[in-house]
């Protein structure tokens, strides 16, 4: 497993094909077999060379032998051979490299003829029918290289009479002259995506942006209906492009643009995210854009144009997590009930505190319970605030702050559950070993709040300088780029495992028969006692979070997500029920408190 096998191509091709062994089967890894000979493309047409400088540059950079070159200024002489060649992975790689060299060497004076030839070559490898071949191109950054090459070449396009439109089925270029007196400029694209129909895109330069221009300039936009599917083949994030890719080349003074994308997958429940392509890091970056409007068919984005980093934009949709109105309903109802239950739990604990904390062990138990409830209450409130911050597209710093405190209080919840688990072990196993209240408080605060604080600070300090603290599309810890989420997952799962061991110890200790083998009534009583202990401890020790592993194993299963949402959205209610209302001493203290209140107000019969 993991072995690599390399085979030569058939006689009519040059290059090689690589395979990798997976599950005892050879799977194609890359295919570099090509039929095109890029080095000889400019020799095959016996045409007059009208631009000797163009030919000389290509001669110098393609390591061709010194011979007479025949080509045209718009390099249209190579197009018939390229268009007649199959768009196999090896040929795609060669054409990408050719377009890169043309954009680097021959973009001094890009005329309409040059741009037409360039677009026809690019269109050949952007056809929707051959997109799957890109997965086997050896250079995984080939799509990004193509995008950068097209942007560079199109940005040098010379505009005749103030405008230019060059349209191919899978790449379209439009350019206009702009100045500060222009009322506003827009680029409208309607292009074929596949055999089923077209897709549209819309770029608008706002009038207030045009007022920044000191002189007349040009604005150029390029639309790619299929390039998004190519770019995502090398992305770690499972989110996929759900619209065309729109590139813009604008003067430095123009900083913000308005883009409207038609969605490929028109599901109203599916969320959309506006992103810009970071050309240096070769990834989609949500920090480049903000969501302005969103409905079932279209998404409107406001994006920041930066020549060195952000010149291409699109929208993403994540397929991993199932979007369901049921999940949203469970979360909203569960969080509301959880917050109410936790507030009620804290009120009851405050009322009965002096009655239920007369011994050291009960004091410690209720102290842990209060901190568990308080941590979960703050975390639930912050969860709602973080969702509001993200949905209203507020500033980045506010989202970082919300994520930091959300991370801290969820960790505090788990570490206080861990403290309660240790306290249970102490009560069961260390019967003759006593600790003072001061020692307990010092240890409990160090574990319950000290450890989460250290982990939270280290996480933001390590990942935020690289802009890897937040995940794309939510105010929560990043996963795909920096794995910052591990700073929550590893402690949480470790505590769940430890607390599961605690429950096992409790079951063993309380499940033993009193004397000998015991009768059936004793066995039944033992089973009831064990079941009650497990039911009481499961929410208090956070074992319900263990069901989150099922959503990782099968992230597309709606049933797993519904179960996980039910157990955790209602956790505050479970803590109130099992930690407070079903506790015998707490109920007795409440009854005594009610009786004393009745006597005080003369309500006793």
Asked whether residue 338 is assigned to any structural domain, the reply reads yes
Same domain, 352 and 388: yes
Instruction: Please give the residue range of the domain that contains residue 280.
Output: 140-317
317, 335, 362 — which closes off a domain? 317
Close Cβ partners of 76 (under 8 Å, ≥ 6 residues apart): 113, 117
Same domain, 263 and 288: yes
Q: Is 459's pLDDT higher than 50?
A: yes
Residue of 250, 18, 43 lying closest to 137 (CA atoms): 18
Same domain, 439 and 506: yes
Same domain, 348 and 477: yes
Asked whether residue 388 is assigned to any structural domain, the reply reads yes
pLDDT given at position 517: 46
Same domain, 305 and 331: no
Q: Phi and psi at residue 570, in whole multiples of 5°? A: -95, 15
Same domain, 508 and 570: yes
Same domain, 446 and 468: yes
**DSSP 8-state class, residue 470:** B
Same domain, 420 and 303: no
> Could you report the per-residue pLDDT of 483-533, keeping only the tens digit for each?
899 999 999 999 999 988 988 888 888 765 444 445 555 555 666 666 666
pLDDT given at position 109: 82
Q: In CATH, what number is assigned to the domain containing residue 470?
A: 1.20.1070.10
Residue-averaged pLDDT of the chain: 81
Same domain, 312 and 357: no
Q: Which two tokens stand for residue 552?
A: 């990782």
pLDDT given at position 184: 62
Distance CA 510, CA 417 (A): 21
293, 317, 341 — which closes off a domain? 317
Asked whether residue 86 is assigned to any structural domain, the reply reads no
Asked whether residue 22 is assigned to any structural domain, the reply reads no
Asked whether residue 568 is assigned to any structural domain, the reply reads yes
pLDDT given at position 63: 45
> Could you report the per-residue pLDDT of 125-171, keeping only the tens digit for each?
999 889 989 989 999 899 999 999 999 999 999 988 888 999 999 99
Q: Which two tokens stand for residue 437?
A: 């209240």
pLDDT given at position 49: 40
pLDDT given at position 413: 93
Close Cβ partners of 29 (under 8 Å, ≥ 6 residues apart): 4, 18, 19, 20, 136
Same domain, 308 and 434: no
Structurally, the chain folds into a number of domains equal to 2
Residue of 577, 492, 501, 511 lying closest to 540 (CA atoms): 577
pLDDT given at position 465: 86
Q: Which two tokens stand for residue 338?
A: 């959880």
Give Cα 51 to chain centroid, integer Å.
Answer: 49
Same domain, 297 and 343: no
pLDDT above 90 coverage of the chain, percent: 29
pLDDT above 70 coverage of the chain, percent: 80
Q: Which residue has the higher pLDDT, 53 or 437?
A: 437
Same domain, 196 and 283: yes
Q: Is 235's pLDDT higher than 60?
A: no
Asked whether residue 126 is assigned to any structural domain, the reply reads no
> Could you report the per-residue pLDDT of 279-294, keeping only the tens digit for each?
888 888 887 888 888 8
Question: Radius of gyration over alpha carbons of the chain, in Å?
Answer: 33
- Whether the full predicted model's pTM is greater than 0.85, yes or no, is no
317, 346, 374 — which closes off a domain? 317
């Amino acid at each position: 497993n993991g072995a690599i096998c390399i085979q030569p191509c058939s006689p009519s091709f040059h290059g090689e094909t690589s395979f990798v062994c997976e599950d005892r089967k050879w799977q194609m890894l890359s295919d570099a077999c090509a039929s095109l000979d890029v080095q000889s493309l400019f020799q095959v047409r016996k045409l007059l060379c009208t631009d000797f400088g163009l030919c000389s540059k290509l001669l110098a950079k393609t390591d061709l032998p010194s011979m007479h070159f025949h080509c045209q200024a718009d390099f249209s002489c190579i197009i018939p051979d390229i268009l007649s060649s199959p768009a196999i992975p090896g040929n795609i790689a060669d054409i990408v490299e050719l377009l890169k060299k043309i954009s680097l060497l021959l973009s001094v004076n890009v005329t309409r003829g040059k741009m037409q030839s360039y677009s026809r070559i690019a269109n050949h490898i952007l056809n929707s029918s051959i997109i799957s071949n890109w997965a086997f191109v050896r250079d995984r950054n080939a799509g990004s290289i193509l995008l950068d090459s097209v942007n560079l070449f199109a940005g040098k396009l010379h505009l005749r009479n103030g405008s230019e439109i060059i349209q191919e089925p899978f790449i379209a270029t439009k350019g206009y002259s702009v100045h500060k007196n222009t009322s506003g400029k827009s680029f409208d694209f309607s292009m074929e995506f596949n055999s089923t129909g077209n897709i549209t895109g819309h770029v608008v330069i706002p009038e207030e942006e045009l007022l920044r221009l000191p002189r007349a300039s040009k604005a150029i936009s390029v639309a790619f209906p299929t390039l998004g599917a190519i770019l995502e083949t090398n992305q770690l994030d499972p989110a996929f492009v759900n619209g065309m890719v729109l590139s813009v080349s604008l003067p430095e003074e123009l900083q913000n643009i308005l883009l409207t994308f038609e969605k490929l997958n028109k599901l109203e429940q599916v969320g959309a995210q506006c992103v810009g392509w970071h050309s240096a890091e070769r990834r989609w970056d949500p920090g480049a854009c903000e969501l302005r409007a969103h409905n079932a068919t279209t998404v409107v984005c406001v994006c920041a144009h930066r020549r060195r980093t952000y010149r291409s934009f699109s929208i993403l949709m994540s397929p991993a997590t199932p979007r369901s109105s049921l999940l949203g309903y469970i979360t909203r109802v569960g969080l509301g009930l959880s917050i109410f239950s936790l507030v009620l739990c804290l009120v009851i604990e405050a009322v009965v505190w002096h009655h239920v904390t007369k011994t050291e062990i009960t004091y410690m138990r209720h102290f842990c319970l209060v901190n568990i409830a308080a941590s979960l209450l703050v975390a639930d409130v912050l969860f709602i605030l973080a969702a509001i911050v993200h949905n209203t597209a507020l500033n980045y710093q506010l989202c970082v702050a919300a994520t930091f405190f959300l991370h801290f209080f969820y960790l505090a919840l788990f570490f206080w559950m861990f403290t309660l688990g240790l306290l249970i072990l102490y009560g069961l196993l260390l019967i003759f070993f006593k600790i003072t209240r001061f020692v307990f408080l010092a240890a409990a605060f160090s574990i319950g709040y000290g450890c989460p604080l250290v982990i939270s600070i280290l996480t933001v300090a390590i990942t935020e300088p690289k802009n890897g603290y937040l995940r794309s599309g939510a105010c929560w810890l990043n996963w795909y780029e920096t794995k910052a989420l591990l700073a929550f997952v590893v402690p949480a799962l470790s505590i769940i495992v430890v607390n599961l061991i605690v429950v096992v110890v409790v079951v063993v200790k309380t499940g033993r028969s009193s004397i000998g083998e015991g009768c059936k009534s004793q066995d039944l009583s033992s089973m009831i006692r064990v079941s009650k202990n497990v039911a009481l401890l499961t929410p208090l020790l956070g074992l319900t979070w263990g069901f989150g592993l099922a959503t990782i194993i099968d992230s597309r299963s709606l049933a797993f997500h519904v179960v996980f949402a039910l157990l955790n959205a209602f956790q505050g209610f479970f803590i109130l029920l099992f930690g407070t209302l079903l506790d015998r001493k707490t109920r007795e203290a409440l009854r005594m408190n009610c009786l004393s209140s009745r006597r005080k107000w003369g309500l006793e019969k």
